[in-house]
Structure formats: C-alpha cells, structure tokens
C-alpha cells in the first residue's frame, strides 16, 4: 500500500471548510490523513474544531516573528515536519509570499467564494451582489503568486436570487464550497490532477 497523502489546512477563522475536509477524510471519502490545522489567530474557531476531531491544532503567532517572511517560514517548517503533501488554504486571511508559493507549487489548494476570475479578493459575495450578477459560486484553485489567480481545479455555480443579502448568498455559496473542496482534495489524493499551464486536467480513475 502506498502511504496516504498527509493534508495540512491553514485557516484564520470559522473553519467550516476545514471541518468539511476533516469529515470527508474521517468518513473514508478522501484517501488521506488530516495531519494538522494551522492558524494565525489564537481565537480562530477552526482550532477548536480541530481539537474536537482529534486533529493537531497549531497556532503560529505572527507576533512572535520579526517579519511576515519569518512567520511564513515557521508555518512551512511545521507543515514539512508533519510530512504534509497537500496544503489546503481554507479561509487563511494572510497573503502567502513567494517562498511558500514556490515550496508548495502544485501542492497547495485555495477555496474562493466566487466563480473566478470574477470577484477575486475580499467580500466576493458582496462584489457579486453589487455587480448585479445572476450567478456566482465557488472555486478551488492551486495557489500561485497572485490573489485568487491560480489554475482552476473545480467550480460550482449558485444562483443569485433577487432578495439575496450578503448573508443568504454566502450561505448558499458555502454549501457548494463544502462539496467541491473535499472533492478537489480527493482528486489530488488519487493522483488525478494534472497541471498544464493555467489548465488543470482531471484524469479518469485508473
């Protein structure tokens, strides 16, 4: 038996995507091990969720480091020490620098609450509402140097309804996030994602 993929998650807040990933792995739906949850915020609910699932919860305090680069280096070392082969950025609110991006190129997935390349950056659901979009959704993509610019792995669309508020739309988007992020991790774990420039090909199951 080949060794199972070890997954690490970076999260700054609520952690609902992290929990969806943890549950998908626990239920046997994704052939991987959830190795560690790393947060840059001591009070992130994601840390509590990790503990509740018996997953190592690691707070890496940015204030303990002289620079953004040093903080990021500590996170990279923590992930490497735990043999992490795939990092999932699940609501991690810090920009990740070139050293991290290079180190985890092709091995780091991010989830974003819009159909990229529409509405990158903060408040994607608010942007969709303000733009009057009729459809929005969620995207899982590989991390690259840009903000929400990397090669797209999976997307799912949701309608924007006439009475939607940022809250109701976010809730509808979140439901599909919780479906496509574990699905993308499963495809990665099964070795079925092939990067080809900007494109990601999904191979048939062997």
Binding mask 159-198 for ligand GRF (x = CB under 6 A): ---------------x--x---------------------
Which of the residues 67 through 96 are near ligand GRF (CB under 6 A)?
90-91
41, 71, 112, 172: which one binds ligand GRF (CB under 6 A) = 112
By CB under 6 A, residue 137 contacts ligand GRF: no
Per DSSP, the three-state class of 69 is helix
- Which span (10-18, 53-61, 76-84, 99-107) binds ligand GRF, by CB under 6 A? 10-18
CA distance 174 to 136: 11
Binding region for ligand GRF (CB under 6 A) out of 8-16, 23-31, 70-78, 191-199? 8-16
Instruction: Compute the C-alpha angle 142/114/179, nearest 5°.
Output: 70
Instruction: Cis check for the bond before 117: say yes or no (omega within 30 of 0).
Output: yes
Quote the DSSP letter at residue 27: T
Tokens of 58: 């690691």
Active site residues: 112
Q: What are phi and psi of 113, to 5 degrees?
A: -85, 55
User: Rule CB under 6 A: is residue 15 a binding residue for ligand GRF?
Assistant: yes
Is 186 in contact with 159 (CB distance < 8 Å)? no
Binding status of residue 13 toward ligand GRF by CB under 6 A: yes
Q: Which residues bind ligand GRF (CB under 6 A)?
A: 11, 13-17, 90-91, 111-113, 174, 177
């Amino acid at each position: 038996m080949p060794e199972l993929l070890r997954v690490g998650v970076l999260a700054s807040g609520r952690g609902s995507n992290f929990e969806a990933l943890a549950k998908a792995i626990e239920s046997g739906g994704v052939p991987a091990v959830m190795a560690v949850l790393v947060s840059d915020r001591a009070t992130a609910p994601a840390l509590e969720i990790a503990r509740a699932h018996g997953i190592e919860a690691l707070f890496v305090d940015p204030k303990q480091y002289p620079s953004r680069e040093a903080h990021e280096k500590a996170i990279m070392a923590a992930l490497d020490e735990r043999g992490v082969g795939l990092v999932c950025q699940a609501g991690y609110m810090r920009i990740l620098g070139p050293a991290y991006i290079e180190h985890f190129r092709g091995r780091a997935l991010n989830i974003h609450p819009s159909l990229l390349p529409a509405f990158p950056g903060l408040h994607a659901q608010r942007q969709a509402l303000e733009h009057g979009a009729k459809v929005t959704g969620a995207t899982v993509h590989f991390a690259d140097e840009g903000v929400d610019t990397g090669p797209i792995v999976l997307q799912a669309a949701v309608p924007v309804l006439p009475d939607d508020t940022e809250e109701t739309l976010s809730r509808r988007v979140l439901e599909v996030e919780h479906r496509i992020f574990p699905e993308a991790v499963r495809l990665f774990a099964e070795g079925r994602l092939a990067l080809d420039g900007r494109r990601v090909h999904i191979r048939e199951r062997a």
